[in-house]
Amino acid sequence: MAKLVLRNVSKAFGPIKVVDNMCLELQGGEFVSLLGPSGCGKTTTLRMIAGFIRPSGGVIEMDGRLLSSSTTSLPPERRRMSMIFQSYAIWPNMTVGENVAFGLKLRKLPSEEVRRRVDTVLDVIRMRALKDRYPAELSGGQQQRVALARAVVIEPEVLLLDEPLSNLDANLREEMRFEIRRIHDEFRITTVYVTHDQAEAMVTSDRIAVMNLGCVEQIDDPFTVYNHPKTRFVAGFIGRTNLLSGAIRGDDIDFDGFSVRASLLPKSEAGGSELVFSIRPQNIRLHADRAETDNARVWLPGRVLDRAYLGDYWDYVIAPGQSKRPIRASSPPAQVFERDQQVWLEIDPALVAPIPGH
C-alpha cells in the first residue's frame, strides 16, 4: 500500500483552477519533489497535503485513511506530519536544543527520552556542539539544520518542505541540497519537497513531479526526467536544451535550414509527420573539420554567431546549415572558436530525445 496518495485532486479559487486533477502516489520512505515555475500549483498542493487548504475535488489519503476531500478535512495537528517553511520559523528566544525539543515536550515525553532524542538528531545534523547557542548566533545553513532537526525529531509519518533553501546564498544552497538528502537517507521519512530549482530537485529526489499550470506533466526519477522528457515544457524547464521541430519527408526529416536522415534519429512515439527533438547543448560537439569516416553520427555545418566564456565551458550560439533559428552548444574551455567561424556540429543520435507529447 502506498504511504501517501493524491487521487484526482483539484483546487480552484473562484474561477481559477490552481491544481487540476492531480494524481500522485508516494511509497514509504520515498523523497518526491514537486518542481515547477511560480504559480504552477506546487505550494497549493503541499498545503492541501498538510491540511491547511481543503481540495475542491478528489481525495488525499495516508496509509489508506482519508485525510482530505471536498467535504471533509482532518486538521493539520492530527495528520502526523511535519512542515518546514521558507522562513524556518525557529524560536529566537530558545537555544538550538530547546528548539529541537519543543515538539517532544508538547507531547509530554519523559525528560530523559526528550534529551536522548534531541542529542541523537543533533548528532545526525552535526550540531551537537552548538546545542546551547541561540538562532541569532547561527548561520543561515545552521538555522536550516535546526528547522530540519525539529521537524524530524518527532518522527512524523510525512515530512513536507516548502522551498526551504530559497533564503540561502548560492554556496549554502548547494551544500544544503546534499545535507537534506543525507538526513533523508538517515531517517527514511516519506518526504514531499517543493522547489522551483531544478538542481535541488535533481540532487535530493527519488522522483520528480514536474508541474505546469496546475498539472503534473511528468513524474520520473531525475535521470529519466532529464534525458527522456515527455513534453516540450519538461524538456525546456529541466536544464538547458535545444528544441528542434521537423517534418518527415521521405527518408529524411526536414528541419529549419537542414535535413537529417530519419534512420539516424531515434524513433518518436508521436503520431503524424511533425516531430520535435530535444538536444542538450553539452551533447553537441564542435569541430573545425568533419570526420570523414563517421557516418553513424549526425554532422551539420554551422557558423558561430556568438559566444560566452563561463569558466567551466564555452557557451556558443550556432546557426546550423541555412537555419535562421540558432541553437546552443557547449565546449570545454580549451576549445575556442571565433565569431563567424565555420564549424561542424557532431551529434550522437543516442543523446537526442524525441518529445512524444509535443
Q: Which of 103, 126, 145 is the last residue of a domain?
A: 145
Asked if residue 163 belongs to a domain, the reply is yes
Residues 13, 44: Cα–Cα separation, whole Å: 11
- Taking residue 37's Cβ as centre, other Cβ atoms within 10 Å add up to 12
> Is 173 found in the same domain as 40?
yes
Asked if residue 85 belongs to a domain, the reply is no
Query: In this structure, what are the phi and psi dihedrals at residue 39, rounded to the nearest 5 degrees?
Result: 85, 5
Q: What is the pLDDT of residue 47?
A: 96
C-alpha cell at 230: 515527455
Which residue carries 495516508 as its cell? Answer: 62
Residues spanned by the domain of 342: 240-354
Residues 293, 346: Cα–Cα separation, whole Å: 13
Residues 54 and 60: beta-carbon distance below 8 Å = no
> Is 76 found in the same domain as 219?
yes
C-alpha cell at 279: 538536444
> Is 305 found in the same domain as 252?
yes
> Is 225 found in the same domain as 257?
no
Domain CATH for 293 = 2.40.50.140
Asked if residue 282 belongs to a domain, the reply is yes
Domain CATH for 60 = 3.40.50.300
Q: What is the pLDDT of residue 296?
A: 82
> Is 260 found in the same domain as 111?
no
Asked if residue 169 belongs to a domain, the reply is yes
Per-residue pLDDT of the chain (358 residues; tens, 9 = 90+): 899 999 999 999 999 999 999 999 999 999 999 999 999 999 999 999 999 999 999 999 999 999 999 999 999 999 999 999 877 788 899 999 999 999 999 899 999 999 999 999 999 988 999 999 999 999 888 998 899 999 999 999 999 999 988 888 888 888 889 999 999 999 999 999 999 999 999 999 999 999 999 999 999 999 999 999 999 999 999 989 999 999 998 889 999 999 999 888 888 776 666 899 999 999 999 999 987 766 788 999 999 999 999 999 999 999 999 998 999 999 999 999 999 999 999 999 999 999 986 5
Cα dihedral: 304, 309, 310, 313 (round 10): 60
Q: What is the pLDDT of residue 40?
A: 95
> Is 267 found in the same domain as 335?
yes
Asked if residue 36 belongs to a domain, the reply is yes
Q: What is the pLDDT of residue 273?
A: 66
Asked if residue 150 belongs to a domain, the reply is no
Q: Which of 183, 211, 234 is the last residue of a domain?
A: 234
The one-character DSSP state at 23 is: E
Question: How many domains does the chain fold into?
Answer: 3
> Is 65 found in the same domain as 24?
yes
According to DSSP, the β-strands at 314-320 and 298-309 are antiparallel
> Is 124 found in the same domain as 193?
no
Q: Which of 109, 125, 145 is the last residue of a domain?
A: 145
